[in-house]
Structures are given as structure tokens and as C-alpha cells.
Amino acid sequence: MNSKIQYRHTITTLSLGAEEKRDSGDAPKPPEDNFAPARQALAELDCDVLIHAGGISFGQESHYISIFEKQSQRAEHVILWLTSPGGDPDTAYQISRLLQKRYQKVSVFINGWCKSSGTLICLGANELIMDDLGQLGPLDIQILNREEFGERLSGLNPIEALKSISAQSLELLKQQFLNVRFGGGLSTKQALEVATNLTGQLMSPITAQLDIMKYGEFTRSMRIAVEYGQRLAKSCRGNNLKPDAINLLTTGYPSHGFVIDFDEARESLFNEVSEPSENLKLVAKTLQPFVDTWAGGANNSAMIIDVRHALGVPFTLESASNQGNQDDEPNAEVTPASKRKGKPAKERAKNPAQSETADDDSGKNDDEPGQ
């Protein structure tokens, strides 16, 4: 099945399938529009909302570009709802840079897991939006294990191994020195020499198992995370990272799955971490089942959609201006990507069926969501 059709069926035609069952008498009558609460909440938001649910893999950056090209208008602010186990760091960097180039403000909304390369995308954001279940993870880039099919190894493995060996060696050296110095009656110089030799002999079988080439591969992968992180922070309009955040993310946590929650993120890593607004919570509540389904998909599959496009609630200058007047925000006005098309967002939210019909008549590609 074409990937674009998958995205469309995930959101747009799900409610249509329920209506077909209702008409045939196979199912109880459902609500007229299961997505009406999300549409109404989306109409009240003066920003674009994108979803990336699933792995991060090569080629997904092209899908983001396709989304941008189809936007009749674009806000200055975007919220990327990101739920991901991680994936390719090169693609994560490109996605974050694309968002930086096309929007004045980038927010990343996290209400589930966002690990590894997902965390890397967050380094280029102006703001993180997290709830109590949102969790980031360390920047330990995963490397394919050549000895086990389909298995990946964390870039933290050799770092943690060397830390452990170093700590054990120092402790062993200390014990041997004290035993020889005070138990054997040798001088300090003689005791240190004997203790050093004993420690080397005891630890050499362990250090001999280290693969220098593999260690170099792991350290290079970790350097990729550091370099990309520094570049994303530098190109962000208003660096959102605390001074030692990248170093902490790459070497300061013990495991790939280590949970970095709201408090940890705000206190140790990012300057701007906030809770989701009521409207964003309502959008998330409505679409959460689809995000959860795709987030756990195999082979780094992902659902990447423009929520406004999928639900038929386009961003318009009128809705942004009205919202800006209510909130008294100076940056409400935006520069349109092209001439304004369609009805105001709130009107389309009230009558999504008519909006989808109008979109279909416009001659757009039917494979894309919400058209």
C-alpha cells in the first residue's frame, strides 16, 4: 500500500468507514464526527501542528518538504507532536533544520517517549511542551549489531565499559598498594611498583577483550550526536539549551532507555519547557490512539502528517488575527506561503464534510490526508 494512502486512512477515512457500517446496520450509530473536538481545538490554535509518530529513517525529510509545499498558508509557529523510539541521526538533523528554516518558532510536543534521534530533533526547538507522561532519552546513537540480525547497540556501551574498567583498576591498585606497603614492609616506591604490576596482570584479560575498531565506531557515532546537537542549538532563534546539556545527554546517563521527564528536562537541559495548552490537550486526546499505533510500528515506519490538512482546518490569516487580538500577542500576523484559499478555520471546523467536498473539487491529489 502506498505510504500516502496509509496516512490518509489513519485519520481521514476512519470516520467514513464507521458511517458505512452504521448505514448497513452492522454497528451502532456513532457520533456524527469523531474528530469534531480536535477540529474545534485546532481552529483555536494560531500555529501549524505536525505529527511524527514512529521511527526516524532516511527519506522522511522529503515527506516534510511535501507537506510544506501543500500548505496554502503557513503560520510563523509550528508544534511538532513527536513520539519516536529514535532512528537515523542524519535524518533527525535534517528534519529539525527544515523546521527551523520554515518557521520563526518551533515547539516540540512530547506526551510519550521521544528517544535518541527524537531527542536530537528537540535540540533545534525554541520550546519543549511536555506532560507528565512525556519522556526524552539520552543521545546515545544506536549502531547496527553485525553479529545479531535486527539488533542495535547503544553508543554508550563502550563509554560505560571504560568507566567501569577505570574505576575497578583504580580501586584494585589502591588495595594492592596498601596491602604491599603496610603488609609487606616495602617502601612507598617499591609498593607502588609491585601494586601496578599486579593490577596490570589482573586487569589485562578484561582489557584484552576490548575491540579497538568497534570502540572507534562507537565514539564516532557519539561525536555525530554532539556535532549535530551543537549546530542545531547554534542555528535556533534563541538557544534553548542549558550550557552543559549536550555533554549531559551524550555521556551523563547510564542507559538508552533512561527516562528524562518534565522536571529533569527543565532543570538540567532546556531553558523553555512548558505544559500543553487545553486546546493542544484536546487535539492529543482525540488523535492519541493513532499516534500510539504508529509509534510502535516495526521497521522504523512512521505516520507524518499535517494535522490541519488531515482534519480540514487550514491555517488562515483571519483566524490568526482573531486569536492574536484575543491573546494580545504581537506576532499574530504571518506572511502567507501563497494566496489564501478556502473558508476560515472555525467555519470549516463546524462543517468538515462540506470542506472536504470543496477540497476534492479543487483537483488536489486524493492520496493526501484531509483533501
116: CB partners within 8 A, 6+ apart: 85, 86, 87, 89, 137, 138, 139, 140, 141, 142, 256
Domain residues of the chain, as ranges? Answer: 3-137+259-361, 152-214
pLDDT reading at 313 higher than 60: yes
Among residues of the chain, what percentage have pLDDT more than 70?
64
The model's pTM is: 0.66
| Model confidence pLDDT, tens digit, residues 197-250 | 878 777 777 666 666 556 555 666 678 888 999 999 999 888 899 999 999 998
Domain 3-137+259-361: give its CATH architecture: Alpha-Beta Complex (3.90)
DSSP string, 184-225: S---HHHHHHHHHHHHHHHHHHHHTT--HHHHHHHHHHHHHH
Per-residue model confidence as pLDDT tens digits over 85-140: 888 889 999 999 999 999 999 999 999 999 989 999 999 999 999 999 999 999 87
Q: Calculate mean pLDDT across residues 342-350.
A: 42
